[in-house]
Amino acid sequence: MPTIDARILPFHLILALSLAGCAAGDTPSMSERAGSPGQPATSDATATSASGATNPSPTSSPSPLETSCHGPGDFEPLPIGAQCWIDIATDADMPVRVSYTIPGPGWSAFIGAYKDVEVGNDVQFVNVLIADIENVTINACNQQQPAKPPLGASVGDLAAALARLPPFEVTSPPADVTAYGYNGMHVQIRVPLDQVYRVDFGTFIGCQESVLRSWIATPLSFAFSGYVAPGDTEDFWILDVDGTRVVIVALATANASEDLRAEQQAVLDSIEIEP
C-alpha cells in the first residue's frame, strides 16, 4: 500500500492511507491538532476496571447504512450517522473489522475520525483512531527513528513501550481491561506540561522538525506526530482479538469542550469489533 510523505504537509496535517470505509462518499485521511493539559472525558456508558482505567463499551448495532466505500481520502468530511469501518490485517484469511459511527457534524476521516473546533484563536481537538501499531520511536522528541529491536507482538509489549516512551508522562499506567468483548490493556500518556513550546506556531522547541513522533503504524509514512501542545493526552486500549493486536487510540486537548468530549466518547461507545 502506498504512503504519503507527511513532510510535505503543514505542521498540523498528518495524512495517511488506510483500509477504511464510511457510509457516504469516498473516504479517509486526517488532520491533527491539539491544545493544553487535560484528560479525555468519560460517560455513563464507560466501564471502569478495578485499577480505575476507563473501558469504552459498545452501544451501537449494525446498520443498513454501512457500505464498503474505501480507499484513499483527503480529509473528507463525514456526515452525521455515517457507519465507518477499518480493517486490520491478520495472519488468517480474513481481517479484523472495527466499525464505528459518526455522532455529529464536523467530523472528518483518517484511520478513524477526528474533529476540531475553532473559537477565535482557540482550537479544540479530539480524535478516535484504529491502528495496527507496530513499533514506537526511541524518543518522540530527539530520537525519532524506530526502536531497535522492535517491540514484541503482545499487548503487554506495546503497553510497556508506550509507558516508557520519552518525553511523555504516564498519566494512567498500563492496566488490564476488557473492552468491546476482548481482553487487553489500557494506558494513557501526556505531552509534558513543561515541554518547551511555541504557541504561535504550535511547535516543540528543540525537537526534530519541531514535532513529537511517537507510534508507528502501517498506513502512516512517518511515526504519528499529531501533538501540537503541552498537555495533550492520548488513551490507548490495546486488545488481543483472537491473536491479533488491535489498538483504539483517543487523543484530546485540555481545552476541548464537554460537548466535544461527549462526541468523542460517543464514537468510542459505538465501536464494534468483528474478528
Residue range 152-208, pLDDT digits in tens: 999 999 999 999 999 999 999 999 999 999 999 999 999 999 999 887 777 899 999
- Residue 188 in domain: yes
Which pLDDT score, from 0 to 100, does residue 56 have?
62
DSSP 20-47: EE-SSSS----B----SS------TT-E
- Residue 45 in domain: no
Residue 114 has pLDDT above 90, yes or no: yes
> Which parts of 191-225 are beta strand (E)?
197-198, 203-204, 215-217
Count CA atoms closer than 13 A to 7's CA, side-chain side: 4
Q: For residues 271 and 51, is the Cβ–Cβ distance under 8 A?
A: no
| Sheet architecture: strand order including 133-139 | 143-146, 133-139, 215-217
Which pLDDT score, from 0 to 100, does residue 22 have?
53
- Residue 253 in domain: yes
- Residue 32 in domain: yes
- Residue 4 in domain: no
- Residue 5 in domain: no
Mean pLDDT score, 32-59: 37
Residue 55 confidence class, pLDDT cut points 50, 70, 90: low
- Residue 44 in domain: no
Q: Could you identify the residue written with the cell 507482538?
A: 153
User: In the predicted model, what is the mean pLDDT of the chain?
Assistant: 78
Which range marks the domain in which residue 34 is found?
Answer: 10-39+51-57+64-274
Positive/negative CA dihedral, 198, 130, 58, 77: positive
Which pLDDT score, from 0 to 100, does residue 115 have?
94
Separation between Cα atoms, residue 147 and residue 211, nearest integer Å: 18
- Residue 227 in domain: yes
Task: Indicate the number of domains in the chain.
Answer: 1
Residue 260 confidence class, pLDDT cut points 50, 70, 90: very high
Which pLDDT score, from 0 to 100, does residue 120 have?
77
Considering only CA atoms, which of 158, 147, 153 is closest in space to residue 189?
Answer: 158
